[in-house]
Homo-oligomer: A and B are copies of this chain.
Amino acid sequence: MAKDFSTRAENYSDWYNELVNRADLAETSAVRGCMVIKPYGYAIWEKMQAVLDRKFKETGHQNAYFPLFIPKSFFSREADHVEGFAKECAVVTHYRLKANEDGKGVSVDPAARLEEELIVRPTSETIIWNTYKNWIQSYRDLPILVNQWANVVRWEMRTRLFLRTAEFLWQEGHTAHATEEEAQAEARKMLDVYADFAENYMAMPVIKGVKTENERFAGALQTYCIEAMMQDGKALQAGTSHFLGQNFAKAFDVTFLNKENKLEYVWASSWGVSTRLMGALIMTHSDDHGLVLPPKLAPLQVAIVPIYKNKEQLERISEAARSIKAGLEAKGISVKYDDNDNQKPGWKFTEYEFKGVPVRIAIGPRDMENGSAEICRRDTLEKSICPQGELVPAVESLLEDIQRNLFERALKHRQENTVKVDSWEDFKVQIEQGKFLLAHWDGTTETELKIKEETKATIRAIPFDVQEEEGKCVYSGKPSHRRVIFAKSY
C-alpha cells in the first residue's frame, strides 16, 4: 500500500480525498467549490461520455447546446422549480471590469450593471423550454429528443471532489412529446440506459426505482433514479430521469396542434448524469492500494514493466514486450510499455496499482528464459505466470473476468449489507452500521422527514422490483403496502 495513504477502515473520507488527489483524478482550485479535473481523471470521464453519447444516439437523441446564462425571471415561471433551483446559484450582475485609477488591479464597472441579472445555469429546463416554444407548432414537430453536454453551477457550501462541487460537468436530456405516455416511456427508457451503463460499464450494481414526492426534482411529477451502494454502505444517487408532465410547457406556454387539430400543452421529460459518477466509480471499487477501474472504463488497460539489470537484458525484454503490446493492441486493448529508466520496477508497480490499471505484466530475465511473463490483476492483486505466446488471449479473458468480478463483488457487498427491518429500534441500529434498509413506510412526507431528522436516513427509492406486501410503517405503525429503501447517502 502507498505510504502515508489512509485506509478505508481508518478513515473512509480521508481515504477518498487522498485517493482522488494521489491518483491524479482531480484537485481543488483557487475558486471555492470548483474543481480541476486532471488529465487522468478526465480520460476516465471521456470514456464514460463516449459510451453514454453512443447510447443516447442509438436511442434517437441528438446533441445541441443552449446558453450558459438564464435570465433571472425564468426561474419564477415554474412554481416548484423556483423553490428548488433559484437559491444557491451564481449570479451575474455586471458585464465589464475597468482598471483602477491607481493603476493597480481592476474593479467591477458600476456603469455596466445588467438590467436583469443572469443566473449561471444550475439546470436548463427553463431556457430550453423557452427555446422549444419556437420549435414546436404541430404534432409533426414532436418528439424532440435533445441532449446537451455542459457545465452547470450550484453554489455549495460543503464541497467534495466529484461528489459535490459548485461547478460540475454533466449531460442533460430534454425531450418534448405529444402524449403523456410517450414522455413517461422516455423517462423510463433513459433510466434503463443509465442502469445499463452503470452495471455493464461501471460494474456498479444499481437499484432502479422512483423517488418519493419529497425527494423529487423540483418541477417534476415523477423522478426515477438509480441508486448505488458505496463501500461504506452509504447510498449514492447515480442518475435521475424525470417525467415533467406539462409543467414546463405551461410555464413557457409551449403548445402544439394535435392530430385532431386541437391545441394542447406539450409533455416533457428530462434526465441527467454528471461527473458525480466519477465519485461513484471510485467509491464502488477502489481499495487501500488505490484506484480500481473496470476494464471498460480504464484509459489504460494493461501496463507492461520490464525488470532488468543491464542494457542487453532490457533489449531482449523490450523485443518481447513490443510484440506482446502489438498483439494486445490488435485486439483493441490499450497498452503501455513502460521502459522509463528513471524509475525502478517496484515504484512502477505501486504507481500502476494506485492508478487502477486493470492488468500489469512484468517480464524479467528469468521470465525470458522460461518464455513466460507474470500477470497481476488489479482487482484481487493475484499474480500468475503465463507463457508469452498465450498472453494475448489470457489478458483478453482476464479483462472480461475483472469486469465481471468487480460487478459481482459490488453486488455481493450490497446484498450482504441490505437488510429488512421491521422495528424502529432495529432501524436505528442497522442504519448506524451502514446498511440499506428495506422497511415499510406510511407514504407521508411527515414520517419521511422525521426519520431523516432522527437518523439522517432518507428514502433512496421505492424500488421497481419490490413485491407488494402488507405491513406497518417502521416509524408510525400505520399501514404500508410495500417496502422502500432507506439509507444514509452522499
Chain B CB within 8 A of A37 CB: yes
Task: Please measure, in the bound complex, the distance between the C-alpha atom of A151 and the C-alpha atom of B153, giving whole angstroms.
Answer: 13
Q: B43 to A62, Cβ gap below 8 A?
A: yes
Determine the distance from Cα of A146 to Cα of B82 in the docked complex, in whole angstroms.
38
Question: Which chain B residue has the least Cβ–Cβ distance from A104?
Answer: B76
| Nearest B-chain residue to A24, judged by Cβ | B135
* Size bracket, chain A contacts: 35 or more
A394 within 8 A of B: no
A65-B37, A67-B31, A67-B36 given as contacts; is B76 within 8 A of A93 (CB)? no
Check A97 for interface membership: any CB of B closer than 8 A: yes
Q: How far is the CB of A29 from chain B (nearest CB, A)?
A: 5
Which of B72, B89, B95, B106 is close to A90, meaning CB atoms less than 8 Å apart?
A: B95
Residues of B within 8 A of A31 (CB): 67, 69-71, 118, 127
- Cβ of A384 < 8 Å from any Cβ of B? no
> B-facing mask of A353-377, CB < 8 A → 1, else 0?
0000000000000000000000000
The answer to whether A75 touches B167, judged by C-beta atoms less than 8 angstroms apart, is no
Q: A62 — which chain B residues lie within 8 A by C-beta?
A: 39, 42-43
Q: Which residue of B lies closest to A96 (CB)?
A: B88
CB pair A95–B46 under 8 Å, yes or no, is: no
Do residues A120 and B119 form an inter-chain contact, with CB atoms below 8 A? no
Q: Are A46 and B63 within 8 A (Cβ)?
A: yes
Q: Does A92 contact B (CB under 8 A)?
A: yes
Interface flag for A203 (CB, 8 Å): no
Which of B72, B98, B105, B131 is within 8 Å of A73, CB to CB? B105
Distance in angstroms from A33 CB to nearest chain B CB is 9
Determine which of B64, B93, B108, B155 lies in contact with A108 in the assembled complex, contact meaning CB atoms within 8 Å: B93
Chain B residues with CB under 8 A of A99 = 82, 86
Contacts of A71 in B (CB 8 A): 30-31
Which chain B residues border A34 with CB–CB below 8 Å? 67-69
* Those of A84-123 within 8 Å (CB) of chain B: 86-99, 104-106, 108, 117-120
A38 in the interface (beta carbon within 8 A)? yes
Per the bound structure, the CA–CA distance linking A68 and B29 in Å amounts to 11
In the bound assembly, the distance between CA atoms of A374 and B120 in angstroms comes to 51
A133's nearest neighbour on chain B, judged by CB, is B30
CB <8 Å contact, B88 and A90: no
A83 to chain B: closest residue by CB: B99
Q: Is A108 a contact partner of B117 (Cβ separation < 8 A)? A: yes
A95 to B31, CA, bound (A): 13
A342 within 8 A of B: yes
B117 contacts A120, CB within 8 Å? Answer: no
The docked-state distance in angstroms from the alpha carbon of A69 to that of B130 is 26
Closest approach, in angstroms, between the C-beta of A2 and any C-beta of chain B? 19
Nearest B residue to A89, CB-CB? B97
14 new A-B pairs (CB below 8 Å) besides A42-B63, A91-B95, A93-B94? Answer: A27-B134, A29-B67, A30-B67, A30-B71, A31-B71, A34-B67, A34-B68, A36-B66, A39-B62, A68-B167, A69-B90, A86-B99, A87-B98, A96-B155
Interface residues of A (CB under 8 A from B): 27, 29-31, 34-39, 42-43, 45-46, 62-76, 82, 86-99, 104-106, 108, 117-120, 127, 130-131, 134, 140, 146, 150-151, 153, 155, 167, 169, 342
Can you report 27 residue pairs joining A to B where beta carbons are below 8 Å apart? A27-B131, A29-B66, A30-B131, A31-B71, A34-B67, A36-B64, A36-B66, A39-B64, A39-B146, A42-B63, A42-B64, A43-B62, A46-B63, A68-B120, A68-B151, A68-B153, A69-B90, A72-B108, A76-B104, A86-B99, A86-B106, A90-B92, A91-B108, A93-B93, A95-B155, A108-B117, A120-B120
